[in-house]
Amino acid sequence: MSTAHDFLKIASQFRLGELPTESRHPLTKTLSHLASNDLEAALRLLARVEIEALDQALRGREDDIRELSSVISSVWASGRRVFFCGCGATGRLSVSLEALYRKEALARGLDTERVISFIAGGDYALVRSIENFEDHPEYGAQQLRDLGFVNGDLLISTTEGGETPFVIGATLEAASISSVKPWFLFCNPVTSLLKLDRCRAVFESANVRSLSLPTGPMAVAGSTRLQASTVLMLSAGSALFAATSAPGCDPWAFVEEMRRTLVATDFSVLAPLIARESEAYAKGSRCLHAADEHAITVLTDTTERSPTFSIAPFENDFVPGDRLAWTYLTIPSVARPDHAWERILMRPMRPLTWKQVAGKYDASVMTGFDFSQQTVLRRRMRAGAPLVFSVEASGGALHLAIGGRSASLPVSGSRLTEHLILKCAMNMSSTLVMGRLGRFESNLMLYVKASNNKLIDRAIRYVRLLLEDRGLSSNYEDVCVALFEARLTLDPEDSIVLRTLEKMVSQSSQGRIA
C-alpha cells in the first residue's frame, strides 16, 4: 500500500475492530504489569484465557468435528488427498498438522502422501513473513493449483479472523474444482463478517462448508497466534487424527483429552525460565532454542515473534550482514541445513517457484536458514556463546530448560495434545518475555508490523485506543495519515504504533487534533 490515501479508499474492507478476535480481552488489561511484576499470576491468567477460549469455541461442536473426520475418511477411501491451508499462524499450523500426520503415518505404516499443506508464500513464509502476500486471493488459488489439487480432493482452510483474502481465494478455488466441499474454519461469528464482500462470497456459497469456532478476544488483542490458532489446530487436528486412527475412533476424544491436559497443567513453573530469557535479551545477549522431535512447534513460536513484536527475523546465512535474530532454532542431531528442513517438515521443502519471485523464496534461499547443529558454532562466532533453551520429552513429560533453570509439564496421550500443550507453553513464555521487555502495553501490541492491510488497520486502531487511554480523541483518517508518514522513517525494530502515537500526541499539544 503506497499511500494513506490509497489505503483509505479500501479501508472499509479491512476495518476489523468490531471482530471479537481483534478486541481487547477484559481479563488481561493488566497483563503487561503482571509480566513485569508477577509472572506466576500472569501465567495463571493466560492459562485461564486458554481454557475459556477453548470452551467457548468448541461448546456444541461435537457433531461438526465428527462430520469433518468422516469426510476425511471418505476422501482417503476414494484414493484422494486432504489439503490444509492458512496464512501466517494458520499456515504454520497447517504445515504442523501435516508434519505430525506424517510422523503418525510412519509409525502406523500408512501412506504419508495423503495429507498436503501449504502456507501463503510457500515454506519460506514459515520463517519470514512475505509482505502483502495474504492480501491476494488469486495467490491462494494459484498455490492450490500448483500442488495438484483435483476433483475429489478435500481442502481444509483455516483463518483465525475468517477474512483473510489468500485463504478465501484458495477456498473458492477448491470449491470450483472439487465435488467435495472445502471446509472453512474460523474464530469469529458469521454475523460479524458479513459486511465484508470477500467473506460473503464464502458464506453464501452452497459449495463451501463453513464452521465458526468463536473464541472471543485474544489474551493480547489481535494476537491470533495465541488462542485462535490453538482452537483451529485442535479442531482440524482432532478430525485428522481420528481418521488416521483405528475405525470408529471418536475425534471428540482428542478434544476432551486436550482440555483435561490443559486444565491439569501448571504453567506457572515456566516463570523462572521467562525471567532468565528476558534478562538475556535485556542485556543484548542472544539465545538459541534447541529441539528435535518438537522442532516444528518450537520453530512456529520462535519465528512468530518477529512479525508480532517487530524484532529481527531469523537471519539467513546467504545474506551478508543480515541482522542476528534474538533467538534461533537448532536441531542438535542434524548436521546439514537441508536435512534440518526435512526433519522439521517430515518432507522435502515446498518453496514458491513462480517466475515473479524467482530467486527470492526458493530452496536455494531457504537452506540459508540453517537449523542444523552448525548453528551453535555460527552464532558463537557472531555473538559469543548463546544461551540455550532446550525442549525435550521423556517419561511422560515435556522438559524445558534455560540457563540452569528448568520446568517439566506432564503430558500423556496423543501426539496432537503433546504438541498443543507445548504450543501453549511456548506462546505464554514468548508473550511474557516480550511483555517484560515493553513490547506491549496493557494488552495491546505496541510493535505491530504493518505489512499488510489488516495489520495497517490494527496499528491505526491501537494508536487510537492508546490515545483514548491518555484522554485524547482522534479520528481514523488522521491517524492513518500520521501512520503512513511514520512508516517512511521507521527503523526495522521501531514501533510504528509508538512512533505514530508520539506524532498524534505532539499534534494534540499543538492544538491540531481534539
The pLDDT of residue 358:
84
Task: Dig out the grid coordinates for 78 from the structure.
Answer: 476414494
CA distance 73 to 86: 21
Which pLDDT belongs to residue 511?
64
Beta bridge partners of 407: 400
Q: Tell me the residue ranges of DSSP E strands in 61-208.
A: 82-86, 115-119, 154-159, 183-186
Taking only the tens place, the pLDDT of each residue in 250-292 is 999 999 999 999 999 999 999 999 999 999 999 999 999 999 9
User: What rounded mean pLDDT belongs to the chain?
Assistant: 95
More confident residue, 412 or 404: 404
Average confidence (pLDDT) over 403-427: 97
Query: Looking at the domain 62-212, which fold is it?
Result: Rossmann fold (3.40.50)
Q: What are 102's three cell numbers?
A: 506424517
Task: Give, to the nearest 10 degrees, the angle between helix 271-282 and helix 415-436.
Answer: 50
- CA–CA distance, 125 with 392 (Å, rounded to integer): 26
d(CA 54, CA 59): 8
How are beta strands 115-119 and 82-86 bridged, if at all?
parallel
Average pLDDT over every residue of 347-358: 91
**Is 472 a residue whose pLDDT tops 80?**
yes
The residue ranges of every structural domain in the chain are 4-24+443-509, 31-45+266-440, 62-212
Please say if the pLDDT value at position 303 is more than 60: yes
Q: DSSP H helical segments within 245-329, as ranges?
A: 252-264, 271-282, 295-309
Question: What's the whole-model pTM score?
Answer: 0.95
**Percentage of residues in the chain with pLDDT exceeding 70?**
99
Q: What is the pLDDT of residues 105-148, one digit of tens each?
A: 999 999 999 999 999 999 999 999 887 789 999 999 999 999 99
- Least Cα distance to 41 among 233, 286, 271 occurs for 271
